[in-house]
Structure 1
Amino acid sequence: MFFRKKLLSSAIASSLMLVPFALQAEQVDSINTLTVTGILPDRLEAVPGSFDIVDERDLERRRPFTVKEALKTVPGINAVDEDSYGLALNIGVRGLNPRRTSRTLLMEDGMPLFLGPYGDPSAHYSTPLDRVERIEVVKGSGQILHGPQTVGGMINFVTRPVPTDGFEGAVTMDAGNQGFRGAHTRLGYGNDTGGIMIDALQKQGDGVRRGHDFDVTEFSIKGQLNLTDRQTLIAKVSRFEEDSAITETGLGQLEYAQDKFQAPTSDHDRFEHQRDSVQLKHIFDINDSATLNTQAYYADAYRSSFRQVNEPGDGSYIIDGTAYSELDRCGTAATAANADACGGRHRPRDYEYWGIESRLDFNHTLFGLDSDAVVGVRYHEEDIRRRQFRDGDPRARDLDWLKSFGTDYLREDIRIDVEAISYFAQNTFHLGDWSFTPGVRIEDLSIKTDVVWAEGDPQDIRQTNRSTDVLPGFGIAWNGIDNTTVFAGVHRGIAPPRPDRDLGEVGDGVVLSKTSPEKSTNWELGLRSDYFDGVSLAGTLFYTDFQEIVIQDSGRFFNAGESEQAGIELAGRIDFGTFYDSAHNVYLTGSYTNLFKAEFSKAVPSENIAAGNRMPYAPRHMASLSLGYENPYGLDTRIGVDYISRQFVDGENTRVESANGQEGMIDGYSLWNASINYRKPGSDITLFGSVYNLTDREYLVSRVDGKVAGRQRQFFAGIRYEF
């Protein structure tokens, strides 16, 4: 520990030693190379990798109900509709398993959003779209500046800035079918000295399945203080609360055939999530060519779920390791009537993490070339506690009742401590129409797991998983054609080793497996162009070689050898109004992904995985297409369709459906959607409406915990007043 902290101190000192060099740096034409709250630089033409920006105008046009819909237009992204509001976010990038977005780094203004970014990278929270100014998606070599996940991409939610010119705000009210209603208020004031902004929102409604109601509230305060002409302090505090009846257990084959939208135990199943976060950023413009950014963040989250049905499709409950049908006071089938007579299992978990990062961005002319450099270091700690309580008594639905008996009903207590230090450096050399960007990231990680209680008995199982990984990257960009960039890049990717979430049994004891970090080599070749007025095009050919892919099976994580993913991503937009110089604009937007290779390149006999098998939840084709019309009188209307081809759900590529619904195929489907906005020129009021799954198509989205149906037709309408 002493050595690691000494190393951290040395790294910070080294970064600060570069400040005098930055003070002497020769001023070049490009300054302020880093946006304040974004992860993309201002000089986008020099970015040597693929990226997408979903800006506020795009969000207004599409009127997405959730983050998932907002990202369906981004090529390479598979967003799974497991619930109606995106409370448990499932996003997969370029064929990676979308389960809880565990291989895609989620951030808000550069701060990680997972329950535990290293120890449990599960997405049970994402920034509400009401607070978002734009969404940045980075999939190329620029990932090495951020971590810990660098294998699948990054998604950064950039929140609205504090007002700078007086008082402003907005009030939004919307409502729809399935009991949905929501409200959002934003109030702020600012001047040359700084400002403050308050956001408050509340959303509630019914879920995909009957009884899966949800209630979400969030309150946040964001402030900015301009200390001097060159120093700015930004602070943000947020409180998020979720209370829902959404259960992770799906349906078995028979249950799904009877009623795909049923949830027999929804009267008792519960999911609660509270999240408090603090973010503090100091921005020091040392001179016109150098900026020192220091960010500190803290998050404290508690999530607790109560589940009665453990396995779908077997007509039984699992209570204290005993089938529900074996208990006299319980029925023989998982029905609402029988659920009233039984208890279940609680899984309360506590997560706390904090970190501090300092990075220096500066321009220089070392070697006689105009250059943009970034160098920095981050220290990060996590403290995780996972517990489980179970019993068959109906009173066990009350967690406090179970806790009142001490450890009598405690089944599991696992503590996970994480300490991580990250170092990163990158330099972009500009030479005429060319730019060259070498960079490197070092992840030094220690994960300590302590099993205090397991299988209802005290334990003393300790494990430390340490790793130090060097992640280099290199990219090239060429801008020899007006408004066009051709790029190529390669970078080393990594996902931290995953601690086991559920313990396995060997004889009378328990075991704790140890996984290695996922390692990959990611290649890209692409083009983005706005050469013609009113026409934007982008295309990327990618190839990812995994040396240590990790597979999840019923909560267990294990290294499954090697895999390869390759494909092509295309995106474009045509504004015919610009093309023909007309105030009436018909626009066409679209994206397409062909993941022509996503397979295991090495067999794993112990798991019945053969070389050449398709990876789970990796559809070969994904597409999104929208046709819209906007006029100078304030009307903007759009209709679109999203398509996903069929998918395997396990490494065995099982085609025959199992009784519990967890094995089998997921058929492809197309979903139509539409939106409309009207704002009279000069007015402060916007009227809007949106509908998803316009034709009310029935479709399947997941088999992870049994069969889960996709959303039925969902629509909402609302009004926003800005002042």
Structure 2
Amino acid sequence: MLVKPFRLNLVSLVVASAFSSLAMANGTVDSASVDEQISIFGNKNSVNEVPGSAHLLKQEDLEKFNYSDIMRTLTSVPGVYVLEEDGYGLRANIGMRGTGQNRSEKVTIMEDNVLAAPAPYAAPAAYYFPTAGRMQQVEVLKGTSSAMYGPRTTGGVVNMLSRQIPEEALAGQLNVQAGQDGFAKLHGFVGSQGENLGSVFEVYRYQADGFKDINHSDADTGFVKNDVLGKVRYNTDTDADFYQEFEFKVKYSDEDSDDTYMGLTEADYNSEPYSRYSTSQKDNMATEHLQLQFNHTIELSSRFSLGTSVYHNDFSRNWYKTSKVNGKSLGSGGIEIAAAHDINATETITVDVKANNRDYLSQGIQTVLDADFDAHQLKFGVRYHQDEMDRYQWVDKYDLDTNYHMTLTSAGQPGTDSNRIDSGEALALFVHDEWTLGNLIVNAGLRYEDMKLARKDWETPERSTTPDYTENKLDVVLPSLALAYKLTDDLVLLGGVQKGFAPPSPGNDEASNEESINYELGARFSQDALSAEATLFLSDYDNMHGNCTESQNCADENIGQQYNAGEVKISGLEFKLAYAIDFGDISMPIDLTYTHSQTEFLTSFDSDFWGGVTAGDELPYVAENQLQFVIGLEGDKWRTNLLARYTGEMRTKAGSGVVEEGIDAHTVVDLVASYDIAKNQQVSFSVDNLLDESYMASRTHGSIMVGKPLTVTLGYRVNF
């Protein structure tokens, strides 16, 4: 593991001393706060003030459908693409503006404004994702708005704000739900705020038996996930010479899920879409995650404030899952053998179950100085970050007999399948100026990153020999420019350009950077109960990366490798409309989200990731059209909302013309209703997939994964 010590708050002290001489005499101003520090929107009164594409899902937005699945939550944001896998959102696949969704590796994921992926530089594929159901707010930036955040700046940023310390002397909530397929959720928090000391404690547990059945077996297909969070904050008196806040956060989570990469053949999907093959009966994911975060803010003067965060994320997981059947990988015939055996088990077959055992570490320190020069709002930021992924894997061998029982025949030795450490170290600096010139706002930014990415690969489990070593050292300068012009009090025009970037993988010293120039042009309108926005975007790649993972059906020897696609062009339109019709005692809120996308490879090549590509082919897993429509009715004590989400036809392989082995267009409808039985108590009723649509979620390893069927849930919530 990484053992380099932190120089606690050193960066903060250096920046503070460099700028404190510029500070004006102390004055009574609005105090800098940790809450503003961990939000990417800071103290802005409205998202409309942000030049570029920006979306804010507030607590009331998140509570409307009360999803635990982050992918269902984010479909209300235009320009965001999701790819379901397990049906409950445990393996989040999120992309933006055509970047690709695989394990959200092309999107910067943050919790409380610090990097949340297990190893965002060394191994960005996020097999861990923060528990979305406990979040109080979700912020999404795309394009030029995301230029201050890295390391991946082409697509955008998702920043999730965890439970904040309440302002009351005592406040809390208890929320319980129960539903079909053994679904159950317990969510509760309690917190208090005194004159100088505040705290909050939160518990979130959810589970299900799963909606799939394993053929000829009573093995589980569900999950249990626990999440516990605690925060303590101390603040000085508001009239102190230098107002300060100190906050410590600790978060622990674990998961036990009987999840698999094995989908179904086309024939079995058509006949029994919610079945699983008996060869997957041992598949299981076990994870643990610990996050420690210390936040500090100080009001240096009426013009200067400084916010610093020190963070540490420790994540371990072992996805124990079937990788070969009769010596064939899942993507090269293993699934067909499993399917045939379940129909007619005339002989014993062999099953390899790989222990994808990995430990991750991500830690760093970051600080931002905010400077208020009236027309100029400046930010100066520094981040030093370290991360690593330690792979120590093995393969156990089983026999699956004619009675569909799996018997261990050979236990693998840990470290004999994959035995390597990928690591990343990065220093990032940025300066950002928001310059107001009458009705024109100019956002100009410059980001610099200096990175070292390395891989150590051992041939022996003991790691006693000298490992093979590869290293990538690089630095990059990323400029951005965004403009917002207020035509009227209600109408704002937006435009911007930025350089997008993603680093190469540690193990591929011949891979080039992923680089692009990204453009956007749009408008926002807001008047009374009506708001609308439309944005045209273009991502012009000089080089696009494809990262091989097991979920992408890559061969074992290529897992972790990176491939270059060369020039790629992705363009599209994002549109959002919201309106509330007032009928007096009843209101009818309406929300429409639409995304249109066009993708094109501009070069021809062959790779294990995309396969054979011809210039002019379209990218896989990017629907040309996505639409979501929400309509509701709200009374004094009751409310109901109906959501219809349409996803157009998608390719699963690069190509042009007629889509072969794609994912058909489908529409999923969700319904939720709630009633206030008392001022502080509410009961709810929800149905996911109201029409019980059976639809393909994805094709992995040449097989089909199915979406979640109709699921009814009842809930009760009390606030105090």
Q: TM-score, normalised by structure 1?
A: 0.87
Alpha-carbon distance change, 309 to 235 in structure 1, aligned in 2, over 3 angstroms: same
Residue 576 of structure 2 aligns with an amino acid whose one-letter code is A
Alpha-carbon deviation of 1:207? 3.0
- Equivalent residue number for residue 675 of structure 2: 678
Alpha-carbon deviation of 1:335? 7.7
CA distance in 1, matches of 2:706, 2:339: 26
Q: Do residues 624 (structure 1) and 628 (structure 2) align?
A: yes
- Equivalent residue number for residue 484 of structure 2: 477
CA distance in 2, matches of 1:557, 1:389: 23
CA distance in 1, matches of 2:37, 2:411: 48
**Equivalent pair of 2:423/2:506 in contact (CA under 8 Å):** no
CA distance in 2, matches of 1:122, 1:336: 38
- Equivalent residue number for residue 509 of structure 1: none
CA distance in 1, matches of 2:436, 2:49: 8
CA distance in 2, matches of 1:242, 1:158: 21
**Equivalent pair of 2:666/2:695 in contact (CA under 8 Å):** yes
- Equivalent residue number for residue 534 of structure 1: 529
CA distance in 1, matches of 2:195, 2:37: 17
- Please give the residue correspondences for 1:458-497 in structure 2 after superposition, counting only pairs within 5 Å: 460-497=467-504
- How many residue pairs were aligned? 681
**Equivalent pair of 2:273/2:694 in contact (CA under 8 Å):** no
Residue 454 of structure 2 aligns with an amino acid whose one-letter code is K
**Equivalent pair of 2:32/2:297 in contact (CA under 8 Å):** no
Residue 297 of structure 1 aligns with an amino acid whose one-letter code is Y
Alpha-carbon deviation of 1:201? 1.7
CA distance in 2, matches of 1:641, 1:461: 52
Residue 247 of structure 1 aligns with an amino acid whose one-letter code is T
Residue 602 of structure 1 aligns with an amino acid whose one-letter code is T
Alpha-carbon distance change, 32 to 200 in structure 1, aligned in 2, over 3 angstroms: closer
Unaligned runs of 5+ in 1: 501-511, 658-663
- Equivalent residue number for residue 504 of structure 1: none
CA distance in 1, matches of 2:562, 2:377: 40
Alpha-carbon distance change, 15 to 350 in structure 1, aligned in 2, over 3 angstroms: same
Q: Secondary structure at 2:566's aligned position in 1?
A: coil
CA distance in 2, matches of 1:336, 1:55: 53
Q: Do residues 566 (structure 1) and 571 (structure 2) align?
A: yes
CA distance in 2, matches of 1:275, 1:587: 39
Alpha-carbon distance change, 608 to 322 in structure 1, aligned in 2, over 3 angstroms: closer
User: Percent sequence identity over matched residues?
Assistant: 25
Alpha-carbon distance change, 654 to 335 in structure 1, aligned in 2, over 3 angstroms: farther
- Please give the residue correspondences for 1:64-79 in structure 2 after superposition, counting only pairs within 5 Å: 64-79=67-82
**Equivalent pair of 1:144/1:424 in contact (CA under 8 Å):** no
**Equivalent pair of 1:26/1:364 in contact (CA under 8 Å):** no
CA distance in 2, matches of 1:587, 1:376: 40
Unaligned runs of 5+ in 2: 214-219, 401-405, 549-553
Q: Secondary structure at 1:166's aligned position in 2?
A: coil
- Equivalent residue number for residue 253 of structure 2: 240
CA distance in 1, matches of 2:56, 2:348: 47
User: Cα deviation per residue 1:166-211 (whole Å; 9 max; x = unaligned)?
Assistant: 1111111101111101111111122111211111121110334324
Q: TM-score, normalised by structure 2?
A: 0.87
**Equivalent pair of 1:120/1:498 in contact (CA under 8 Å):** yes
- Please give the residue correspondences for 1:222-371 in structure 2 after superposition, counting only pairs within 5 Å: 222-229=231-238, 230-264=243-277, 265-310=279-324, 316=326, 318=328, 333=341, 342-365=351-374, 370-371=375-376
CA distance in 2, matches of 1:392, 1:90: 30
Q: Do residues 435 (structure 1) and 435 (structure 2) align?
A: no
**In the alignment, which of 658, 663, 667 is matched to residue 666 of structure 1?**
663
User: Cα deviation per residue 1:438-475 (whole Å; 9 max; x = unaligned)?
Assistant: 11111111111011138999883210011111000011
- Equivalent residue number for residue 179 of structure 1: 182
CA distance in 1, matches of 2:534, 2:506: 37
CA distance in 1, matches of 2:533, 2:426: 36
Q: Secondary structure at 1:145's aligned position in 2?
A: coil
Residue 82 of structure 1 aligns with an amino acid whose one-letter code is E
Residue 570 of structure 1 aligns with an amino acid whose one-letter code is F
CA distance in 2, matches of 1:28, 1:192: 18
CA distance in 2, matches of 1:132, 1:486: 31
**In the alignment, which of 538, 545, 549 is matched to residue 543 of structure 1?**
538
**Equivalent pair of 1:390/1:411 in contact (CA under 8 Å):** yes
**Equivalent pair of 1:535/1:574 in contact (CA under 8 Å):** yes
- Equivalent residue number for residue 95 of structure 1: 98
CA distance in 2, matches of 1:11, 1:167: 33
Please provide the CA RMSD for this pair.
Answer: 3.4
Greater CA drift, 247-256 or 665-674: 247-256
CA distance in 2, matches of 1:638, 1:384: 43
Alpha-carbon deviation of 1:308? 1.9
Alpha-carbon distance change, 654 to 116 in structure 1, aligned in 2, over 3 angstroms: farther
Alpha-carbon deviation of 1:318? 4.7
Residue 233 of structure 1 aligns with an amino acid whose one-letter code is F
- Equivalent residue number for residue 422 of structure 2: 416
User: Cα deviation per residue 1:109-138 (whole Å; 9 max; x = unaligned)?
Assistant: 102111211111122333334422211110
CA distance in 1, matches of 2:318, 2:51: 42
**In the alignment, which of 158, 164, 167 is matched to residue 164 of structure 1?**
167
Alpha-carbon distance change, 322 to 699 in structure 1, aligned in 2, over 3 angstroms: closer
Residue 587 of structure 1 aligns with an amino acid whose one-letter code is P
- Equivalent residue number for residue 699 of structure 1: 695
Alpha-carbon deviation of 1:490? 0.9
Q: Do residues 194 (structure 1) and 197 (structure 2) align?
A: yes
- Equivalent residue number for residue 39 of structure 1: 40
Alpha-carbon deviation of 1:700? 0.8
